């Protein structure tokens, strides 16, 4: 009798013939299996045990110094036609790409164990979830995938029920930057990654599947796979609104997802619930609203800057059962990074050398922690709801030192899509390359959209149909600076003041002024009790620099033109309409 797992078994056999491992291990996700893998990695130095009194069940992993971030210049989308990948992706023809990377996989697992990891992105029983199988020779990947996904026997059972899965093949190879590729084949629902052990390149359920492949799936199936956090905001009356927000990596997504309300808000009964900090899958529900799930089960967060001041919930989450990657350690073997501000000091840096601030930081700027979302004090049980949570608002934001005000609301859905398409941010250490350079990063998906951005914008526009009850769209900028180079907005928990205004706008009660770029609040439209803002701050956070926006929209027109005739005319018309009102 034919089994729905025959295709999976056949693929595993094919990979084994190509890579020639010494052994094959099918991962069931059990505690016993995980303990054995941890012991193996402790024995061979892949992991180092941290202080069991202060951080029980936690470990440190040190990457190769040339393998510490996503490698966008070596990441390819391999579609039959080049134009389907678009100018936003590096492209290679599928046949050429398979030949190129399979030559690297040839015999690469000799002397190693090949691990087969069935996993589910999203709650096991959710109709919004999708499954995959990653084959890897890295036990570190297995341990991380166990935290980041629903991995093991339950996922395999769902794959057998559904009969479909995304295929992901990974090998750490020789960790040679010159022998490294991350290739995606959206039309085949296949990922091949070679030569890197870093999370974004090696945990194939994460950016590779949950964004690049899933965005392609979402377009064909009528939903959205987005680089967005999801949080719930509960007001004193007990009503909860859910917001999805897109920010480029290392721009405060995790901080916002786990926000601690200011003291006055806490006293009044406001609460924040964390659904997810990085990825959001959403689709229209029967009532016309958008419903979202977090496809991940854990957090792969940036460590530097995480402190009891910036993100108490994140810090509380990672006090146990956490894998730290590329952080420093203290004399008593506790994890340490710049900005932790806990009164301790590192003795060893992320490369395992004696700490010397003149040589390198204690923690790599892109060092990470991997931890189960359930350990977060603000974790919401709604994260496991199979139907997802209804989204009231979508928020776009970037790191802009000038021009962009604290918050504005898009006029309608088409304008909102343009706001997302126009997003710009200064680059951070989450990707290789120069830091601090302003680049367009539409919907924070520039490194992650698995197809042509022009088609992606058209897909977003397609949700504006009769009967749709679409979320309001907003743009925020926590990073506006004054003439002295210092941030004008306090950020962190005070960002709830902006979210509260958004909720009032959703409910129809919030005041705003219509401007060419959208609806702007005045300073008095936000609850600023306890916040002192200078006159310069009020002018720049809530004002409109018309000349600056004229230049911005001229530049945006040039940017959109890069996508050629596939770009939706509605987006060009909207850009021109706003440019005309600014003139």
Query: Per residue in 147-184, pLDDT tens?
Result: 999 999 999 999 999 999 999 999 999 999 999 999 99
> What confidence score (pLDDT) does residue 424 get?
87
pLDDT tens figures, 399-440: 999 999 999 999 999 999 999 999 988 765 555 566 666 789
What are the angstrom distances between the C-alpha of 551 and each of 69, 547, 554, 557?
33, 7, 5, 10
Does residue 399 have a known ligand-binding role?
yes
Cα 306 to Cα 24: distance, rounded to the nearest angstrom: 38
Supply 263's token pair: 């003291």
Residues 292-314 have a mean pLDDT of: 95
251 classed as catalytic: yes
Q: Which has the higher per-residue pLDDT, 254 or 456?
A: 456
Q: What is the pLDDT of residue 299?
A: 97
What is the average per-residue pLDDT within 239-265? 92
Alpha-carbon span 133 to 429, nearest angstrom: 29
Instruction: Please report which helix (H) or strand (E) contains residue 312, including its range.
Output: helix 312-317
User: Do the annotations mark residue 144 as ligand-binding?
Assistant: no
Q: Mean per-residue pLDDT for 319-335? A: 98
In 3D space, the residue among 522, 516, 499, 520 whose CA is nearest the CA of residue 556 turns out to be: 516
Residues sharing a CB contact under 8 Å with residue 130, sequence separation 6 or more, in sequence order: 120, 121, 122, 166, 209, 214, 217, 295
pLDDT at 428: 58
The one-character DSSP state at 4 is T
**Model confidence over 85-113: pLDDT tens digits?**
999 999 999 999 999 999 999 999 999 99
Token pair listed for 498: 């902006």
The pLDDT value recorded for residue 572 is: 97
The DSSP code sequence of 178-242 is: TS-EEEEEGGGTEEEEES--SHHHH-TIIIIIIIIIHHHHHHHHT-EEESEEEEEEE-TTS-EEE
Task: Confirm or reject CATH 3.30.360.10 for domain 226-297+380-582, answering yes or no.
Answer: no
Query: Is 146 known to sit in a ligand binding site?
Result: no
Q: Does the pLDDT of residue 354 top 90, yes or no?
A: yes
How high is the pLDDT of residue 434?
63
Task: Average the pLDDT over 473-486 and give the result.
Answer: 96
Tracing tokens 């629902």 back to the chain, one arrives at 189
Ligand-binding site membership of 200 (annotated):
yes
Spatial CA neighbour of 399 closest among 489, 311, 473, 476: 476
Which residues are bridge partners to 237 per DSSP?
A: none
DSSP, collapsed to helix, strand or coil, labels residue 492 as helix
Helix (H) or strand (E) holding 114: strand 113-121
Q: Of these residues, 251, 280, 376, 449, which one is catalytic? A: 251
Which pLDDT belongs to residue 1? 47
- Res 3: pLDDT: 80
3-state SS of 415-454?
HHHHHHHCCEEECCCCECCCCCCEEECHHHCCCCCCCCHH
CB burial of residue 53 (10 Å; 0-12, 13-18, 19+): exposed
Residue 29 · residue 151 · CB < 8 Å: yes
Sign of CA dihedral 290, 148, 77, 254: positive
| Helix residue ranges, H only, 90-174 | 94-105, 139-148, 153-162
pLDDT given for residue 379 in this prediction: 98
374 annotated ligand binder: no
Q: What is the DSSP string of 73-102?
A: GGEEE--SSHHHH-TTSEE--HHHHHHHHH
In whole angstroms, what is the distance from residue 464 CA to residue 413 CA? Answer: 7
Which position has the token pair 């180092």? 48
Residue range 485-542, pLDDT digits in tens? 999 999 999 999 999 999 999 999 999 999 999 999 999 999 999 999 999 999 999 9
Region class of 287: left (phi > 0), else alpha (psi between -120 and 50), else beta: alpha
Pairing verdict, β 240-246 and 389-397: parallel
Q: Quick one: residue 62, left, alpha or beta (phi over 0 = left, psi -120 to 50 = alpha)?
A: beta
CATH architecture of 299-375: Beta Complex (2.170)
The domain defined by 6-47+67-222 folds into Phosphoenolpyruvate Carboxykinase; domain 1 (3.40.449)
Contact, 459 vs 219, CB < 8 A?
Answer: yes
Mean predicted lDDT score pLDDT of the chain: 96
Residue reference for tokens 């009769």? 466
Nearest to 398 by CA among 339, 474, 498: 474
Percent helix, strand and coil across the chain, each rounded to 5? 35, 25, 45
Q: Residue 568 above 50 pLDDT?
A: yes
Give pLDDT, residue 425: 81
Helix (H) or strand (E) holding 254: helix 253-257
Q: What is the rounded CA–CA span in Å between residue 467 and residue 474?
A: 21
250 annotated as a binding-site residue: yes
Instruction: For residue 305, say whether it is annotated as part of any ligand binding site.
Output: no
What's the rounded Cα separation, in Å, for the pair 266 and 268?
5
Instruction: Give the residue ranges of DSSP H helices in 508-568.
Output: 535-542, 546-561
Query: Is 251's pLDDT higher than 90?
Result: no
Average pLDDT rounded to a whole number, residues 236-265 = 93
Domain ranges across the chain: 6-47+67-222, 226-297+380-582, 299-375
Only one residue has tokens 């928020």, namely 395
Instruction: Judge whether 467 is annotated as a binding position.
Output: no
Q: What share of the chain has pLDDT > 70, as a percent? A: 98
pLDDT band at 23 (very low <50, low <70, confident <90, very high): very high
Q: Is 70 annotated as a binding residue?
A: yes
Task: Specify the pLDDT at position 429.
Answer: 57
């Amino acid at each position: 009798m034919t089994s729905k797992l025959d295709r999976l078994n056949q693929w595993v056999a094919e990979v084994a013939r190509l890579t020639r491992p010494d052994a094959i291990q099918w991962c069931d996700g059990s505690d016993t299996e995980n303990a054995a893998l941890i012991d193996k990695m402790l024995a061979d130095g892949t992991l180092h045990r941290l202080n069991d009194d202060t951080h029980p069940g936690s470990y440190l992993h040190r990457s190769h110094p040339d393998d510490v971030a996503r490698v966008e210049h070596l990441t390819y989308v391999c579609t039959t036609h080049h134009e389907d990948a678009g100018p936003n992706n590096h492209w290679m023809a599928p046949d050429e790409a398979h030949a190129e990377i399979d030559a690297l996989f040839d015999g690469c697992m000799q002397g190693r164990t090949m691990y087969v990891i069935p996993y589910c992105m999203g709650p096991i029983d959710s109709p919004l979830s999708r499954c995959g199988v990653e084959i890897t020779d890295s036990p570190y990947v297995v341990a991380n995938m166990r935290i980041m996904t629903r991995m093991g026997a339950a996922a395999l059972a769902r794959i057998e029920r559904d009969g479909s899965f995304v295929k992901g093949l990974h090998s750490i190879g020789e960790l040679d930057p010159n022998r490294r590729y991350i290739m995606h084949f959206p039309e085949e629902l296949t990922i091949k990654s070679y030569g890197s052990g870093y999370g974004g390149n090696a945990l194939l359920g994460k950016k590779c599947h949950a964004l690049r492949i899933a965005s392609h799936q979402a377009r064909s199936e009528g939903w959205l796979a987005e680089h967005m956090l999801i949080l719930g905001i509960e007001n004193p009356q007990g009503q909860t609104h859910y917001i999805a927000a897109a920010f480029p990596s290392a721009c405060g997504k995790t901080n916002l997802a786990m926000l601690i309300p200011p003291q006055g808000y806490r006293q009044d009964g406001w609460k924040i619930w964390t659904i997810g900090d990085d990825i959001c899958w959403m689709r229209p529900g029967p009532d016309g609203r958008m419903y979202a799930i977090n496809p991940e089960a854990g957090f792969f967060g940036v460590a530097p800057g995480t402190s009891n001041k910036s993100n108490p919930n994140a810090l509380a989450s990672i006090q146990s059962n956490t894998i730290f990657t590329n952080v420093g350690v203290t004399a008593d073997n506790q994890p340490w990074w710049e900005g932790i501000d806990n009164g301790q000091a590192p003795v060893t840096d992320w490369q395992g050398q004696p700490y010397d601030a003149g040589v390198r930081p204690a923690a790599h700027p892109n060092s990470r922690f991997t931890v189960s979302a359930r350990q977060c004090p603000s974790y919401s049980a709604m994260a496991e709801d199979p139907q997802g949570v209804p989204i009231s608002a979508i928020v776009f934001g970037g790191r802009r030192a000038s021009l962009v005000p604290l918050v504005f609301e898009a006029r309608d859905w088409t304008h909102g899509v343009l706001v997302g398409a126009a997003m710009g941010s200064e680059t951070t250490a989450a990707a290789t390359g120069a830091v601090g350079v302003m680049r367009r990063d539409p919907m924070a998906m520039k490194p992650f959209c698995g197809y042509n951005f022009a088609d992606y914008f058209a897909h977003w526009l397609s949700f504006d149909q009769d009967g749709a009850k679409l979320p309001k769209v907003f743009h925020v900028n926590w990073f506006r600076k004054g003439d002295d180079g210092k941030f004008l907005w306090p950020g962190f928990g005070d960002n709830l003041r902006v979210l509260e205004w958004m909720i009032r706008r959703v409910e129809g009660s919030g005041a705003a002024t219509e401007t060419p770029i959208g609806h702007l609040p005045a300073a008095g439209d936000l609850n600023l009790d306890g916040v002192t803002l200078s006159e310069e701050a009020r002018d720049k956070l809530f004002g409109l620099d018309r000349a600056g926006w004229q230049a911005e929209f001229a530049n945006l027109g040039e940017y959109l033109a890069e996508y050629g005739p596939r770009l939706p005319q509605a987006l060009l018309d909207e850009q021109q309409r706003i440019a005309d009102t600014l003139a």
